[in-house]
A and B are shown apart, each in its own frame.
Chain A
Amino acid sequence: MKKYSFKIILLGTLVTLFTLTSCLKDLDQVPQDKDIVLADELFNDPAAYKQVLAKLYAGLAISGQQGPAGMPDITGIDEGFSQYLRQYWLAQEVTTDEAVIGWADGSLPDYHEHDWTPSNEFIAALYNRIIYQITSCNAFLRETTEAKLSGRGVTGQLLSDIQDYRNEARFLRALSYSHALDLYGKFPFVTEADEVGFFFPQQKTRAELFSFVESELLDIEGKLVAPKSNEYARADQAAAWTLLAKLYLNAEVYTGTANFSDCVTYSEKVINAGYDLDNNYENLFLADNYGADGVIFPIAFDGLKTQSYGGTTFLIHAQVGGSMNAADFGITGAWGGNRTTSAFVNTFNSGIDVDASNSAIGAPSNWGIVGAVNGWGGTPDLVLFQTGTANVYQAYYNLPDGDIKFRPDNSWGSDFGDNGSNISVSAGLYKVTVNVSSQEYSIKKDPRAMFHTDGQTLEIESVGTFTDGYAITKFKNVDQAGNAGSDTGGTFTDTDFPLFRIADVYLMYAEATLRGGGGSEATAVSYMNLLKNRGTNNFGTVTSIDLDYILNERARELYWEGHRRTDLIRFGKFTGGDYVWPWKGGTPEGTATPSYLDVFPIPSSDMNANPNLSQNTGY
């Protein structure tokens, strides 16, 4: 009996051991979901390389792997907020005279009030987004080394395509590092040599980052696909040149040493690549702007395929509110957030040489403008000039608030206005066109001044009130024919965002030239007149330019495109008291703010995670 039991126990033990050993293997679980692929297996599919590259580009456009939201790339902030362009736009625009945002979202109001701290979650989200983009590019570069590719037997066309992809990944990484050094100065530095894991990256100085970005771009500028010959929305040589030009333009801010001549050099490279300005400024910001001229590098969006609550979906929804009709913008719901300050509106009251512009129209006519502008005849009427068309006269003038009429020969012998009554004009710089035979007239601002003023006040009493401050109508989810974008729900937009465009390069050339970069000032003036003279869109001419002109023209041409903060800093006007705008520093009329705000703080979340970091001075 005893012996028998022993055998049973022994047998039982052995069976148990065998079962256990096989059971213990069950602890090695791997994903079985078709959407979750083991890193080791992904690149068995040759198509995967392009799909991972697409994610690097998509990192600028969408917030996660499930459009419009779900499975976010970064956390700690609402996913809709976390999108790269939205964050970048807020940091570059809402901190300046170009934009205020009315929402009580977390510490968002800090941006315009210039009182942000290291715990500001928007500053942290942008920081995290930039690092995310960098580490994603690094991961791709790590997975596509020569050793790995040959290990996987990659040859032929795929191998050469992957070389292009790698160069583009390096461009995207350089782009994000350029944002990092511009926004934060110091930044944690990682490359493809750093495997992921829980370690503490070293922080590089602004100058070190500048050198890295410069050397990367110089290395790939010759390797990237030639200008305008890559697939739409992918980077080419012109994108790298534009980024280099931007870097050199700001080199003095970043490194203490100016380098305007290289800015001129690389601007010229882009210009010589043959980009045209679009005849119609408005076309650059419409749902079908993939066809617009002059875009060097866009961030592409699609109402059905590339959905997020950031990007142009944010830009368009947030700019609509008050009495604006959402349907005019190709959307169904207004979010009512963004407006602008009077300081920016007023930049459109200058920007052309009025006399030169008028004489460029033609000879003076006998018709003129009478009204508040000349005390109803107290001084001579403002002369209108003869256009190429008979009986059509035109002139550029800065008009004050008040009424006007048209009349010939400084006399009331005949006159016209609206049905005989006066024409009411609010103050501003106008192009006035009169057809004295049909008795039709137009009084137009610079066509780039796309304001919605109905129901809005020019000055802002309360930032939270949408109707305070002019609204802006620049971005729209309708095509040139006025049809709404592809998302029939009217939420997600097709409009691509022109991150780099030729007008910016003209302006960089002009500025670098004025700052002693060695370009031709005459050429610079001619470029400025290209911006004024766009087919049906033209608005005056300019005969000479100075740096103030450049800063204002950059505002007029590039407002709400994410340039303003960097521009104001380069001109020494972002902080301090040299230039104040409404609600700068949190006061209605604007106040001086301390200069340490020229770089954003290192977010406290990273300061607490990484002992190798030091904070920017002042925070």
Chain B
Amino acid sequence: MKNFKIFLFNVLLLFPVLMFAQQTVKGTVTEATGNTALPGVGIMIKGTIKGSATDFDGNYTIENVKPGDVLVFTYMGFNTKEVSVGNNTTINVALTENAQALDEVVIVGYGTTSVKDATGSITSVKAEDLNKGAIVSPEQMLTGKVAGVVITSDGGAPGSGATIRIRGGASLTASNNPLFIIDGVPVDGNGISGISNPLSTINPNDIESYTILKDASATAIYGSRASNGVIIITTKKGNGGGFQATYSANFSVNQNLQTVDAMSADQFRDYVNANGLATDIALLGNANTDWQDQIFELAYGTDHNLSLKGGSEKLNYRGSIGYTNQSGTLLTSKLERATYSLSIGSKLFDDHLKIDFNTKVSLLNNRFADQGAVGNAISFDPTKPVYSGNSNFGGYYEWLGTDGNPLTVGAPKNPLALLKQRENISNASRAIGNIQFDYKMHFLPELRANLNLGFDKSSGSGENSIFNSATSNTIELSKLGSISQYEQVKENLVSDFYLDYAKDLESINSSIDVMAGYSYQNFKENGSNTDNIQDRTLTETFDYINQLNLQSFFGRVKYSYADKYLLTLTYRRDGSSRFSKANRWANFPSAAFAWKIYEESFMQNSETISNLKLRLSWGITGQQDVGGFYPAIPTYLGSTSTAAYQFGGAFINTFRAEPFNTTLKWEETETYNAGVDFGLFDDFVTGSVDAYFRKTKDLLNFIPFPGGSSLSNAGLANIGKMENKGVELMLNVKPIRTEDLNLNVGLNFTYADTKITQLTTNDGADYEGVPVGGFSGGTGNYIQRHSVGFTPNSFFVYEQVYDTNGKPLEGVYVDRNNDGQISNADKYRFEKPSADFTMGLTTDLNYKKWNLNMAWRANIGNYVYNNVDSNLAFRDQLLNSAFPTVIGNGVENILETSFINGGAARYLSDYYVQEASFVKLDNVSVGYNFGDIFGNESNLSLSGSVQNVLTITDYVGLDPEVGNGIDYNIYPRPRTYMLGVNLNF
């Protein structure tokens, strides 16, 4: 059908010239890659207005041609080809598709560019190329798609968040999240009360495309918030065509793949009988309860979306509504979401004024499950029944003290009771909107003024009720539950104004585009948290109000010579209310050069290379997002009434002098990037390679202050340096292109390496670094260190000694410093949670009306601390003598190690730091397009997909994909089966 339209279009276009055709050359025009005949190809005799066109089978005839003539073959979307006629009477021509993508418009900061003219490292992905399936949150669409972008979901809870890292993150303490810009509004990257993932407020079905800005040339225009990359989300708009409606819906089933290998009731009985005291053995029960079975279930989800769009050249519109209802596999967890979006675009005054209006509203209701149930399901004694048989504590079996009250310390809680006796619900809403005026001056059309006014407002409130019958609150002596409440309103206003002057300077074979502007953004949040509403005597409310203001001046010059040599310079001056007046402003310049090598005459006849562009860039970006709002102002902080001090008979609420740092300033990241965009064999293979080197200095770092110099022992200071380097490769191969069968393979590959090069004022050789990575088992234990010369979050552990059978010997570690004893000095840095290599592979196979998509992803060289094994596989945890009336279950690892205790050192053994490289088949989907079966240009398609299909790994824990590298209590990511329907009419 598409071909037919193009045929018509070309015929109409060429109709006038056809009238003049006379003598005869014949031939067939085909597509170079698939040998498919091309209908409607225009053929002109060069320098004349004589021509012809191919018919439906790609054949043409052109008459009255002289041997010296040159035939020009043109076809929409293909490269024009010129052939000298000579003595030939038959000329068959194969046309190569021009890389249409190169002309694609890409949204960049305060403007647009095209792929071919881009000078920075920019990846743009259209919605149809993104992950498919039952997707609730936008970032899930992008997982594994883009080199240099690593997205790790936080777990399997419905609507759960994800950690997104572009090029590994440039900061230590400050945020490493990329800046998200949704339809021109830089959104608040921090959390919203009552929503586990702020991005889940955007309906993925409304998204048109993502643009990921990676190098400094692309990001520096966003200066202060750009160090960790920028993701620009553009939502779908009306297209000015006729009215079109789309309805899509899907139904999904989520199923947990496997459970943690907790000991079965029989295994546990055997263990206790063999290892326990008589008092422990006496505690064993007769039940056989699989607690994990009790807390997980099949979970169902539905998703409905209706969008309407249409309009005219002057006015177009699109509106959509969406409804998502998703239960989690952990009992009681649930997400319900309604989304609305409206976009109106209009052109006024002879298209001189363009007005675009976008708004997106979402309403969410969540019920959060107590994820602590996951850990308790492992550790609760499997020989105990779920229910006690009496009505105390809601009828659930719990560990009780001799006085009949539940044990608050040292005893696992009934996991089912934790879920069922708690109702943690939230209601939240978010609205993001903007109106953008783009005015092309009447008196000077090259000059454009652009005003963008936007807002991002969210509010959330919630209530966490622990039922009176529950044992999990701390005031059980009075047998009252607890209710805590919270509410929050966040308001983020943005206005940008810029002027853009673009002109082709034909006299000097150049074009120039100059832009300058100003941006104002204000973030305000206020809210409150109230505890213990159940017991009014203990009720306490904390309220807060905070404001952050960011203002910027920015400019950009783009210069192009001969359409081959491109130069882009940007500059941004940013001010943040976080810093004192003296350090408030900072400058962020960038420069980039691109050379379209393929446009050079010497490349024009290359058989192999169909596109080649070199990009070089340098720039400085910044970071100011350190969490607090007023880190540079001296203030006093009042205490809560539970932190008062007694003088005589009175309790005095106190005031504390707060630490502050007037010298705090911007963190600066300097990035060098070199990249090549290429197309090979008539764009059979397209892709890009980028290598980057990034140095961050003046890290906004939470570091120990020199003792006595400040009002706390540690805080924020601009100390520290870090280096990132990496290589990114993106490839797109189209190995099969025939009329009926098409295969498109996308591959991306990333190598990334990050090292800390300075951490403190006075880096000593024996300084082990900043402890990070707290875990379960002994408060104050940290498994990771930030230390100089190593990747952030490297594991810092003892080296385990094994017996000849490979079994770890309890309490035996390598005396690495040979001082005859095992002490802290024997610990060493062993691996890190981040992967050295990440890869994504997407295949898209179309056969007639069928299509089959697969998305694979791999991480190589990432390590995980198996905290499940380290904390739930030693005797003194299961049979703790401090709590002689309680026994707890563990995981099967205890049967391998037979560990008794081993103290903190055992927790810190490298035995538990395990390689977690993996290959995952994230998604397989099959679709069938019925086409216009209802008439009226309607279209019906059905699809089915499976997400989280397969994981190949040597890691023994539940899932090797662990964001911070510490595997504990994870909400398992379920496998999702989905059936979907899509109807256009």
A residues at B contact (CB < 8 Å): 1-2, 5, 16, 20, 23-24, 26-40, 42, 48, 50-52, 54-55, 57-58, 61-62, 64-68, 70-71, 73-78, 80-81, 102-110, 115, 117-122, 127-128, 131-132, 134-136, 139-140, 188-190, 194, 196-201, 231-234, 300, 302, 304-308, 317, 321-323, 325-327, 332-337, 455, 462-468, 488-491, 586, 604-612
Contacts and interface: CB of A to CB of B under 8 A. Distances in A.
Contacts of A20: 518
24 contacts: A1-B443, A27-B575, A52-B655, A58-B644, A65-B654, A70-B640, A103-B779, A104-B906, A108-B778, A108-B904, A122-B780, A128-B714, A190-B709, A199-B706, A201-B709, A302-B644, A306-B643, A307-B643, A464-B902, A467-B881, A604-B767, A605-B704, A608-B763, A610-B709
Given A30-B630, A35-B637, A232 B711 contact: no
A610 B545 contact: no
Contact of A136 (B401, B408, B662, B711): B711
B507 interface: no
Given A55-B655, A78-B779, A131-B713, 7 more contacts: A58-B645, A189-B708, A200-B709, A334-B883, A465-B881, A467-B884, A610-B761
Given A332-B476, A490-B477, A608-B760, A39 B634 contact: yes
B661 A36 contact: no
B658 to A, nearest CB: 8
B674 interface: no
Interface in B635-656: 635-649, 651-656
A488 B537 CA distance: 11
Given A120-B824, A334-B410, A464-B901, A489 B542 contact: no
A461 B260 CA distance: 33
Contact of A105 (B575, B759, B904): B904
A606 B706 contact: yes
B778 A57 contact: no
B823 interface: yes
Interface stretch (B47-55, B368-376, B546-554): B546-554
A104 B761 CA distance: 31
B663 A198 contact: yes
A607 B767 contact: yes
B822 to A, nearest CB: 9
Contact of B882 (A30, A81, A102): A102
Q: How large is the interface on B (under 10, 10 to 19, 20 to 34, 35 or more residues)?
A: 35 or more
A48 B655 contact: yes
Given A30-B630, A81-B779, A58 B654 contact: yes
B646 A610 contact: no
B641 A610 contact: no
Q: Top 9 closest A-B pairs, CB basis?
A: A336-B882, A67-B642, A333-B409, A466-B882, A231-B648, A333-B408, A128-B713, A67-B643, A321-B882
B83 interface: no
B647 A81 contact: no
A105 B779 contact: yes
B777 interface: yes
A147 to B, nearest CB: 18
Given A39-B636, A332-B405, A33 B410 contact: no
A610 B547 contact: no
Contact of A36 (B635, B651, B712, B771): B635
Contacts, number: 385
Contact of B907 (A50, A104, A609): A104
A489 B475 contact: yes
Interface string B464-491: 0000000000111110000000000000
B636 A52 contact: yes
- Residue from A110, A135, A198 with most neighbouring chain B CB atoms (10 Å): A198
Contacts of A28: 577, 581
- Residue from B657, B763, B901 with most neighbouring chain A CB atoms (10 Å): B657
B622 to A, nearest CB: 15
Contacts of B23: none
B643 A198 contact: no
Contacts of A40: 634
Given A5-B443, A50-B647, A105-B781, A606 B704 contact: yes
B576 interface: yes
A188 B402 contact: no
B316 to A, nearest CB: 30
A81 B779 CA distance: 9
- Residue from A38, A106, A121, A612 with most neighbouring chain B CB atoms (10 Å): A106
Nearest to A55: B654
Contacts of A39: 634-636, 657
Interface of B: 401-403, 405, 407-410, 443, 474-478, 497, 518, 520, 522, 538, 542-549, 551, 575-577, 581, 584, 629-630, 633-649, 651-663, 702-714, 717, 759-764, 766-768, 771, 774, 777-782, 821, 823-825, 876, 880-884, 900-904, 906-907
A110 B905 CA distance: 11
Contacts of A304: 538, 642
A604 B763 CA distance: 10
A134 B708 contact: yes
Nearest to A128: B713
Contact of B645 (A61, A104, A132, A135): A61
A536 to B, nearest CB: 29
B646 A106 contact: no
A35 B474 CA distance: 27
B713 A132 contact: yes
Contact of B545 (A33, A188, A325): A33
A76 B475 CA distance: 30
Contacts of B707: 127-128, 131, 188, 201, 606, 609-610
B714 to A, nearest CB: 5
Given A81-B779, A197-B662, A604-B767, A107 B706 contact: no
Nearest to A612: B706
B634 A305 contact: no
Contact of B663 (A32, A197, A466, A608): A197
A494 B396 CA distance: 33
Given A607-B762, A609-B705, A610-B707, A302 B410 contact: no
A78 B903 CA distance: 18
B711 A196 contact: yes
B634 A27 contact: no
B577 A29 contact: yes
Given A65-B643, A81-B780, A105-B781, A135 B824 contact: no
B331 to A, nearest CB: 27
A139 B946 CA distance: 62
A38 B497 CA distance: 34
A334 B407 CA distance: 9
A571 to B, nearest CB: 26
Given A51-B653, A75-B713, A26 B549 contact: yes
Nearest to A611: B762
Contacts of A196: 659-660, 709-711
A52 B654 contact: yes
Contacts of A139: 657, 711
Nearest to B659: A196
Contact of B647 (A54, A317, A322): A54
Contact of A107 (B409, B824, B900, B902): B824
Nearest to B876: A464
A36 B637 contact: yes
A68 B640 CA distance: 10
A80 B654 contact: no
Given A104-B778, A333-B410, A54 B644 contact: yes
A30 B633 contact: yes
B638 A35 contact: yes
B714 A76 contact: yes
A23 B520 contact: yes
Contact of B542 (A23, A66, A81, A136): A66
A334 B649 CA distance: 30
B779 A336 contact: no
Contacts of B478: 488-489
